[in-house]
């Protein structure tokens, strides 16, 4: 082989190596951008799921699939339903001082009814949380915490929540309620 042939082969090899290195970094940069967008889009739900799955890529994939599935089935509330739920929510807040545990039960029931009417998955509390988490990521932690406090108050396994815990649960349910009923 001549020196010219070796030089051409060396240059081609160098170009291929440089192209592979550039492609690698572009791929990593695009992947990082995609994951960052998922982090912003899904908020705490993304972080929770990434930790649970041990993979940001798996979390992103699952959340995107879940969102597609949930968004295809949810329905908006009619004006009549909004008015009815507004009245029910006002009753939740009015009765809190006289019956905090009953008010908390009612808040849980109202939110659950809205989820059902809007056609969110509601076979279990976890499934409902997952549905809320991909559509309304900003309130999913409030939803989970309100449900936890409600379980402590009404569940047989709990020690019972104190008045301040129940007040916070009502506030958290209110933030979920507002997101679920906004136009």
Query: What does the angle CA 109 – CA 77 – CA 106 come to, to the nearest 5 degrees?
Result: 15
Question: 136 lies in which domain range?
Answer: 79-181
On whether both 151 and 114 belong to a single domain, the answer is yes
Q: Are residues 172 and 98 in the same domain?
A: yes
- Residue positions counted in the chain: 183
Percent of the chain with pLDDT over 90: 40
Residues 69 and 98 occupy one common structural domain: no
- Tokens (6 digits) for 152: 């402590």
| Whether residue 114 is found in the same domain as residue 35 | no
**177 Cβ partners below 8 Å, 6+ apart?**
85, 89, 107, 110, 111, 114
Count Cα atoms within 13 angstroms, Cβ side, for 134.
Answer: 24
Could you give the percent of the chain with pLDDT greater than 70? 95
pLDDT tens digits, residue range 70-129? 888 999 999 999 999 999 999 999 999 999 999 999 999 999 999 999 999 888 888 898
Q: How much is the average pLDDT of 7-19?
A: 85
What separation in angstroms does the CA of 88 have from each of 49, 77, 94, 152, 166? 33, 15, 10, 23, 18
- For residues 83 and 66, membership in a common domain is answered with no
Q: What is the pLDDT of residue 55?
A: 81
Q: Are residues 36 and 64 in the same domain?
A: yes
Whether 14 and 87 share a structural domain: no
Domain boundary, last residue among 73, 99, 114: 73
d(CA 149, CA 126): 15
One domain for residues 9 and 97:
no
| Confidence check: pLDDT of 157 > 60 | no
Residues 88, 69 share a domain? no
pLDDT digits (tens, 9 = 90+) for 41-74: 777 777 777 888 888 888 888 888 888 888 889 9
The residue among 37, 57, 73 that closes a domain is 73
Longest dimension (CA), the chain: 97
Which pLDDT band holds residue 35 (cuts at 50, 70, 90)? Answer: low
At residue 144 the predicted structure's pLDDT band, cuts being 50, 70 and 90, is very high
Looking at residue 38, its pLDDT comes to 67
Q: Based on the domain organization, do 172 and 91 belong to the same domain?
A: yes
Task: Among 26, 57, 73, give the residue marking a domain's end.
Answer: 73
Tell me, what's the pLDDT at 183?
60
């Amino acid at each position: 082989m001549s020196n010219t042939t070796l030089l051409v082969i060396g240059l081609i090899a160098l170009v291929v190596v440089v192209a592979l290195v550039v492609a690698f970094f572009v791929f990593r940069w695009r992947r990082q951008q995609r994951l960052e967008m998922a982090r912003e889009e899904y908020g705490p739900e993304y972080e929770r799921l990434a930790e649970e799955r041990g993979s940001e890529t798996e979390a992103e994939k699952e959340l995107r699939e879940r969102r597609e599935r949930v968004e295809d089935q949810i329905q908006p509330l009619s004006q009549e339903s909004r008015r009815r739920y507004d009245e029910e929510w006002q009753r939740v807040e009015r009765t809190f001082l006289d019956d905090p545990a009953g008010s908390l039960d009612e808040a849980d029931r109202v939110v659950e009814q809205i989820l059902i009417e809007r056609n969110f998955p509601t076979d279990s509390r976890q499934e409902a949380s997952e549905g809320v988490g991909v559509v309304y990521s900003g309130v999913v932690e409030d939803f989970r915490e309100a449900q936890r406090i409600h379980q402590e108050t009404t569940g047989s396994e709990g020690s019972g929540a104190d008045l301040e815990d129940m007040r916070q649960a009502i506030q958290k349910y209110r933030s979920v309620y507002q997101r679920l009923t906004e136009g």
